[in-house]
Amino acid sequence: MLKPIQIKENLYYVGVNDRSKELFENLWPLPKGVSYNSYLIVDEKTALFDTVDICYSDRFFQKLETALDGRQLDYVVINHMEPDHSGSLGLLKAKYPNVQVVGNKRTADMIQGFHGITDNVMLVSDGDQLPLGKHNLVFYLTPMVHWPETMMTYETTDKIIFSGDAFGTFGTLDGGITDAQLHPERYYDEMIRYYSNIVGKFGSPVQKALEKLNNLDINYICSTHGPVWTLPQQIEKVVNIYDKLSRYEGNEGVVIAYGTMYGNTEQMAETIAHELAVQGIKEVIVHNVSKRSDSYILRDIFKYRGLIVGSPTYNNKLYPNIEYLLSKIESREMKNRYFGYFGSFTWAGAAVKRLAQFAEDTKFEVVGTPVEMKQSMQLDNYTACVELGKAMAARLILDRKQ
Ligand code: FEO
């Protein structure tokens, strides 16, 4: 028998940790696992907020049953339909046939499509309210944070926002559930990685959602992944992280992402990186794209304003892993980056041309002169790489004065 965890009077955590899955969405590495958070309010009426991945439904139902303590489940609020949260909805409905499934018009279409549920569905619109007794729910539609049906639910008495994926992080909840019970620092990088990998394309919808939350007094952020945020300074911190990321604002620093087959292009990356440091740029992150998953490279590209990409020519195109990375950057509609690029070839150059096209498509501010190297590093290429590093450093340093 598993017990729920009480967050505060009448509010229970009935979520689970997943330490087994290798790749979230079968794409993004989970070295620290992930949690699927679900919450229950027990009042005159009982309301559950989202469910969990179906692989963990057994543990989830044990916790839920114990938390209900013989009561019936009146409502399940579906803030988000991605199956890491709605996966157990069909089983929940079979177990609690009278439960009212609360969602918006877009949710209704998905619960029918995924689970065949059409009865006892309560449709809500932006600003609608649902009293539970002492607690009162208000629904805020926040489409595309991260799917079109996404909404957030605000509880007005205890000032709790059930925020769906927003403010979520990768990483399991190891012991502590709330920020007060753990060292929150260990989640910040995983929050940025989660945002950049999963929500990164939707900067403008996230900004609209933040505007809606702006006037709310918030004591608890109950996201669907990662810690429950309860400490005022932590709530401010995670809202600021989301605000900054969704504005595509980066810190001073440079990500150098390069592909290399035999180390020649890598030497260009090393030269540029060192010159950045010589010029006083302390945050220089160098990623070999064959070694490092795009998941982490994207995280760092969201963190820092400077981006330098290098690629050998491969089959008259870019090095494949660089092409994949560029397509992920483009699909996130990344903005506000200073961009430098370099490449190499043995008999016919194509990489630098494609990188120039990428710069044009993304409208990044191109910094310095692109470097194209034939075969191996000679003094002229070396000097050109140093100049590229200098130019990027100068551009970043210029921002310090503004
Ligand atoms: Fe955690 Fe978009 O699902």
Q: Say if residue 288 is in the same domain as residue 377.
A: yes
Q: Say if residue 131 is in the same domain as residue 179.
A: yes
Q: Which H or E run includes 163?
A: strand 160-164
Gap from CA of 191 to ligand 1 centroid (Å): 13
CATH classification of the domain holding 96: 3.60.15.10
CATH classification of the domain holding 373: 3.40.50.360
Residue 149 Cβ contacting ligand 1 at under 6 Å: no
Which amino acid residue places its CA nearest to atom 3 of ligand 1?
82
Gap from CA of 12 to ligand 1 centroid (Å): 21
Residue 354 Cβ contacting ligand 1 at under 6 Å: no
Residue 53 Cβ contacting ligand 1 at under 6 Å: no
Q: Which residues of the chain have pLDDT under 50?
A: none
Last residue of a domain, one of 219, 246, 273: 246
Closest atom of ligand 1 to CA, residue 199 = 2
Q: What is the pLDDT of residue 395?
A: 98
How does pLDDT run across 229-266, given as a tens digit for each residue? 999 999 999 999 999 999 999 999 999 999 999 999 99
**Structural domain of residue 181, as residue ranges?**
5-246
Q: Say if residue 230 is in the same domain as residue 264.
A: no
Closest atom of ligand 1 to CA, residue 165 = 1
Q: Say if residue 314 is in the same domain as residue 209.
A: no
Our count of domains for the chain comes to 2
Gap from CA of 153 to ligand 1 centroid (Å): 16
How does pLDDT run across 160-179, given as a tens digit for each residue? 999 999 999 999 999 999 99
Q: What is the pLDDT of residue 186?
A: 94
Gap from CA of 225 to ligand 1 centroid (Å): 8
Q: What is the pLDDT of residue 402?
A: 79
Determine the Cα–Cα distance for residues 228 and 221; give it in Å rounded to an integer: 6
Q: Say if residue 169 is in the same domain as residue 288.
A: no
CA proximity to 25, closest of 70, 87, 78: 87
Residue 84 Cβ contacting ligand 1 at under 6 Å: yes
Q: Say if residue 195 is in the same domain as residue 260.
A: no
Residue 146 Cβ contacting ligand 1 at under 6 Å: yes
Q: Say if residue 299 is in the same domain as residue 225.
A: no
Gap from CA of 394 to ligand 1 centroid (Å): 40
Closest atom of ligand 1 to CA, residue 198 = 2
Q: Say if residue 271 is in the same domain as residue 223.
A: no
Gap from CA of 182 to ligand 1 centroid (Å): 23
